[in-house]
Amino acid sequence: MTAKGWMAVAAACAIGVLATSGEAAPRRTAERPVVVELFTAQGCGGCPEANAAVEEAAETAGVIALTYGVDYWDYLGWRDTFAKPAFSARQRAYRSAMRLRGVSTPQVVIGGRSQVSGAREPELETAIQREAARETWPPEIEFRETGRQVGVGSGRAPTGGAEVVAVTYRPGPQVVEVARGDNRGQTVRHMNVVREITRLGDWRGRPVLFDLPATATGEETVVMVQGKSDRRILGAASSR
């Protein structure tokens, strides 16, 4: 991806797009970062390129990039060191919401509402720009100074309801040497690897305060307000 392309993404994320036809301007998209979720596997031969594309996106202002290891490639002979069944289940929930025929890796889900299979950089750049320019009024998400609680403000709850999810991850890159499977002998690099997903509770459009799960040293938390049925991400914030 060109530097010019990522600058355009950053600009869209930073300043947002004003509503038209005399409507009030939506919140600036800096308050509604674009969540980019990569579903990948260390045993997937086509995944390292997608990992690199998402790592590039992670450096863009206004983008929260998260990497989930999935476990259904383990049968090829290499057990993914980051994978958990809950991460594969999250990907399957997106498949159902988007009415896709199946799950595959690598796959990137943008804002919980669109996806890019294979995670080619030009397509990923376009998808992030489109999501950043979307006119929305997200609920405010505020981490308390103690770091133990998070508040979610008021807003319009979607049909089917919404839930608040805490994603615990380790920021920055991590490198794994793969000894078996399709990537045997290769060094695979991951960015912002997810450790746990915790459902905090329902959000019904009214302000609510949640306790956050404990984190280990060096870990951070992303809190998302997400539709239960369509899985779109209404708002997100990082403790980092």
CATH number at residue 37: 3.40.30.10
Q: Say what the pLDDT of residue 240 is.
A: 82
What are the residues whose beta carbons fall under 8 Å from the beta carbon of 206, sequence distance 6 or more? 154
Residue 29, CA distances (Å) to 34, 60, 171, 237 in order: 8, 13, 22, 12
Residue 135 belongs to some domain of the structure: yes
User: Tokens representing 61?
Assistant: 């202002």
Q: Say what the pLDDT of residue 98 is.
A: 94
Residue 97 belongs to some domain of the structure: yes
Tell me the whole-structure pTM to 2 decimals: 0.86
Q: Say what the pLDDT of residue 26 is.
A: 31
Q: How do 220-227 and 233-238 pair as beta strands?
A: antiparallel
Residue 207 belongs to some domain of the structure: yes
Q: Say what the pLDDT of residue 74 is.
A: 87
For 47, the domain range is 3-16+27-238
Residue 21 belongs to some domain of the structure: no
Q: Say what the pLDDT of residue 235 is.
A: 95
Distance CA 161, CA 82 (A): 31
pLDDT tens track, the chain, 240 positions: 555 455 445 545 543 433 333 333 333 334 689 999 999 999 998 899 999 999 999 999 899 999 999 999 888 888 999 999 999 999 999 999 999 998 889 999 999 999 998 767 788 999 999 999 988 889 999 999 888 999 999 999 999 999 999 999 999 999 999 998 888 999 999 999 999 999 999 999 999 999 999 999 999 999 999 999 999 999 999 998
Q: Say what the pLDDT of residue 120 is.
A: 75
- What percentage of the chain carries pLDDT values higher than 70? 87
Q: Say what the pLDDT of residue 145 is.
A: 86
Residue 129 belongs to some domain of the structure: yes
Distance CA 123, CA 119 (A): 7
Count of structural domains, the chain: 1
Residue 22 belongs to some domain of the structure: no
